Chains A and B, each alone.
Chain A
């Protein structure tokens, strides 16, 4: 089924493995992502035709279109793209490191850690959006560190990591619920929307921090892609071909946690994208390994489609995008459990 991978050899010992099918899938996903982004920019109370969106983005639009596109809708769409890509890549990393298709940040409890941080800011300090984001970031990073240390025992074992994550999330959920019951109804409603994950009202203030994080972390993760692929065969095999297993794992997990929490800080803990994107990408590319790039692209596409659906599919009611990813993700998850059980992977 797969055409043979070809290696492009560069100067010296550099080389780039290109798998035709993966490349085609990547191009297809990129095209879908761009098309969805244009469609989404045109969607809203004042619909703008796709052609006018493109013209405006190129700088030749009417002043009214320019305001709507550049100030109101583009930031939201960019946040969706970046959050989706960050979650998709983080999910791919976690699933590779834990060697389990369910080892996603949703299940591992990092999202809950970010949520505790954000809720504490909302409920206890009534902070503004920026402070909530900072709280989420702090909560997620602390949780990530704690889970890593608790799961560490002469190295990290994927199963132990997942199970420690499950235990930690139970405690974090208790913390979330404590904050919810302690709050007044107004704060609780705001917290609830944050908890579900929402893209409404995002502006450039959310775009820039996320964009910088992604620009720094993506290359770092991709640089470890080969080592990650080796580690999927087992720690011993990877060590035998010269991978520094534990160091690579710490680095990759730190990067993935950073991506997850940066995404949560911008849009709340949007569920199931990190879980589903790498799996769907893998099915599309049919290539083994961690599918880092295609996972990120798939994440962006998933979130754009979900956001479009959340604005269009429920009549006049706009739902938070997290509700849509949650509903779709739930169904997807059941299907995953069935198929993966047959394959014996979980």
Chain B
């Protein structure tokens, strides 16, 4: 209900959004500068704008720029899809990881690698879309769609994930060569990012993001209940289908590019809502900017803590997100949407 939440004026929200953008720029710089080899900011600058082929130029150019760009895009994709899911299902715990959508995309990609001989990302993407789409529809329907309680939906998603993860494990056991490749991909990592990856998933993530951002107003209307929304002229079925398409594009492309990453889509919209209030237009805008801050931050942490090895970003986000999830569950009344 717009206006019912914390009373933050539009001006304050706009300033906050600018601050979030500044944070994004800073974390992007950190992501370029930090890694197995930390480098001073002048060297990063040199690699970015005066490329001459020195070793550090090459590191910045070939490894860290694509990695940072991919982190930006995937983070935005996961955050937006989490926000749309929470609004669509009116479920504060909805999240691509919890609802099994990531696992669906992952299972489809694993099948493609093992049975259909898929090797490159532009093949993965289509399988990931198919998997994400099927699972999001199945969980949404099985979870009870409109009458779903948060718990029912979370359980349906978790159960579906459990089954899919069992399947993924089975495939990995039967196919040892695929396993060596898969055990890194199924963790969720930005480490193997190349400009090629970035180019391939960018159009899908961009389309999904635009669609998600456009859904702010109809999702606001739906938050007031189906009848009110209809009276306000919102086309419910069309909105639901558009939301599903946005979720599929965003989760499918993100998962294809770097494996299943959990909890970004859960944490960011929650944190954001505490500041912006429930207006979806602001929630979506903030989520789009702050989710990559969290993802890149987790990636940077993963690169630093076990140097010279690194901790995959999917592991860091799960370790950060688990406690947040448990905190949300323990709160007196789960945040209402």
Kindly state whether residue B42 has any CB partner on chain A within 8 Å: no
B162 to A333, Cβ gap below 8 A? Answer: yes
Q: How many residues of chain A get a CB closer than 8 Å to chain B's CBs?
A: 50
Chain B residues closer than 8 Å to A341, beta-carbon distance? 142-144, 152
Known: A162-B155, A330-B163, A330-B167. A181 touches B330 (CB 8 A): no
Which of these binds chain B: A33-41, A43-51, A120-128, A170-178? A170-178
Kindly state whether residue A229 has any CB partner on chain B within 8 Å: no
Consensus secondary structure, chain B interface = helix
Q: A244–B136 Cα gap in the complex (Å)?
A: 42
Q: A167–B179 Cα gap in the complex (Å)?
A: 26
**Counting chain A CB atoms within 10 Å of each CB, which of B93, B164, B326 scores highest?**
B326
A163 to B329, Cβ gap below 8 A? Answer: yes
Q: A106–B164 Cα gap in the complex (Å)?
A: 13
A323 to B173, Cβ gap below 8 A? Answer: yes
Q: A37–B286 Cα gap in the complex (Å)?
A: 60
Nearest neighbor of B259 in chain A, beta-carbon distance: A177
Nearest neighbor of A324 in chain B, beta-carbon distance: B170
Known: A170-B97, A181-B183, A326-B169. A271 touches B155 (CB 8 A): no
Q: A87–B3 Cα gap in the complex (Å)?
A: 50
Kindly state whether residue B114 has any CB partner on chain A within 8 Å: no
Q: A39–B38 Cα gap in the complex (Å)?
A: 63
Known: A326-B169, A346-B152. A170 touches B183 (CB 8 A): no
Kindly state whether residue A239 has any CB partner on chain B within 8 Å: no
Nearest neighbor of A102 in chain B, beta-carbon distance: B155
B318 to A272, Cβ gap below 8 A? Answer: no
Query: What are the nearest 9 A-B pairs in CB distance?
Result: A326-B166, A330-B163, A174-B318, A171-B322, A167-B325, A163-B329, A167-B326, A323-B170, A337-B142
Question: Known pairs A163-B329, A170-B262, A341-B143. 4 more at Cβ < 8 A?
Answer: A107-B159, A185-B179, A196-B166, A341-B144
Q: Which residues of B contact A (CB under 8 A)?
A: 93, 97-98, 138, 142-144, 151-152, 154-156, 158-160, 162-164, 166-167, 169-170, 172-174, 176, 179-180, 183-184, 186-187, 262-263, 309, 311-312, 314-315, 318-319, 321-323, 325-326, 329-330
